[in-house]
Amino acid sequence: MTSLPEIQQIEKKIEALGSTGRAEILTYSELGDLRFPIYKVSFGSQDPKAPVLGFVGGVHGLERIGAQVCVALMNSLAELAQWDATIQQTLQNIRIFFIPTVNPVGIYRKTRCNPQGVDLMRNAPIDADNPQFLLGGHRYSKKLPWYRGELGAPMQLEAQALVNAVEKEIAHSSLAITLDLHSGFGLQDRLWFPYAKTVQPYPDLHLCYGLKELLDRTYPHHFYRVEPQARNYTTHGDLWDYIYDNHRGRVQGQVYVPLCLEMGSWLWVKKNPWQIFSAEGPFNPLKGHRHKRTLRRHNTLMEFLIRALSSPQAWATTEPLKMQQREQQAKELWYGER
């Protein structure tokens, strides 16, 4: 039976979870004889109102390192949950979930798109302001990258499964953060926040500034550039814009921050130019030592997000004056507004 190393690792970890975690299959992604499960693995509180932290990978099959880092983070947390008293206590109050391989057929076939030729991160029913030609999403042909899917068609199976799973997790949560892991842009790892659809500031700008400020104070030598995604380009159909807008439209007084980790793959290519001729080369670290370094590189970020989720008073203030100050500081930093 055809399988993926990433899915094999997930299934191996599921067998060893015992009572420390829970696993479910969201759906199956299929193409001909290929049929892969899309797993969601959860740890911690089952209280619907508990704070939630989610990690997602493998939305774009070519960006395989995103799925691999997500699996590595899941494995580390699963082990800590077995013996670390601090993590065990933390997990009594929060919930952490992982969906590492959203597009397993794409990973297997080394394609950006899903089995139907659709870019899942261009597939939500959202139109952007002045997106870049083709890159921002289009409906010309599935033979071209960044294809959105047919106008008016339902979202793709994999995209809808992700949306449903995340919306269920955050529906009643007092505070939720998700981190979607990608690669393929720039020489530096970036933490992007909404919107992808517009260069206009999004409603919870003060939260991202508070989180960035906390990250800078806690780890002043970190290597992430924190910024709005639209500062680089805008796109149609971003799934996280869609989930955020839906959640904000339904729920009042709950905090949800969707983040995207865009790993700077140009640095890998710069250090090893020959890998550009490989199908996976532009998006993944192909040298063994760089691959291992990348798999362990973001453990501190996971730890930080867990701590931030557990201590929202450090960054997610509800004090009106402080919120206004942070929003103004954010606009000056990211949008040049004074």
Q: Are 39 and 24 in contact (CB under 8 A)?
A: yes
What pLDDT was estimated at residue 336? 85
CA distances from 252 to 13, 50, 167 (A): 37, 16, 15
Single pTM value for the model: 0.97
Tokens of 150: 């047919």
What pLDDT was estimated at residue 279? 84
Integer Cα distance of 134 and 130 in angstroms:
11
Which of 258, 178, 189, 262 shows the shortest CA–CA distance to 224? 189
Q: What is the DSSP string of 269-295?
A: HHH-GGGGGSSSTTTS--SHHHHHHHH
What pLDDT was estimated at residue 258? 98
What pLDDT was estimated at residue 104? 98
Q: Are 308 and 210 in contact (CB under 8 A)?
A: no
What pLDDT was estimated at residue 1? 59
Integer Cα distance of 39 and 21 in angstroms:
13
- 148-156 contact pairs (CB < 8 A, 24+): 148/118, 148/119, 148/122, 148/123, 148/236, 148/237, 149/116, 149/118, 149/122, 149/123, 155/123, 155/124, 155/125, 156/114, 156/116, 156/118, 156/120, 156/123
Q: Which domains, and CATH codes, for the chain?
A: 5-111+158-334 (3.40.630.10)
What pLDDT was estimated at residue 247? 95
What pLDDT was estimated at residue 92? 98
Per-residue pLDDT tens digits for 91-146? 999 999 999 999 999 999 999 999 999 999 999 999 999 999 999 999 999 999 99
CA distances from 322 to 95, 213, 314 (A): 28, 13, 12
How far does the chain reach from its first CA to its final CA, in angstroms?
Answer: 60
What pLDDT was estimated at residue 3? 85
Which of 257, 109, 112, 245 shows the shortest CA–CA distance to 180? 257
Give the other-Cβ count within 10 Å of 238's Cβ: 28
pLDDT tens, per residue, the chain with 338 residues: 578 999 999 999 999 999 999 999 999 999 999 999 999 999 999 999 999 999 999 999 999 999 999 999 999 999 999 999 999 999 999 999 999 999 999 999 999 999 999 999 999 999 999 999 999 999 999 999 999 999 999 999 999 999 999 999 999 999 999 999 999 989 999 999 999 999 999 999 999 999 999 999 999 999 999 999 999 999 999 999 999 999 998 877 899 999 999 999 989 999 999 998 888 889 999 999 999 999 999 999 999 999 999 999 999 998 999 999 999 999 999 998 65
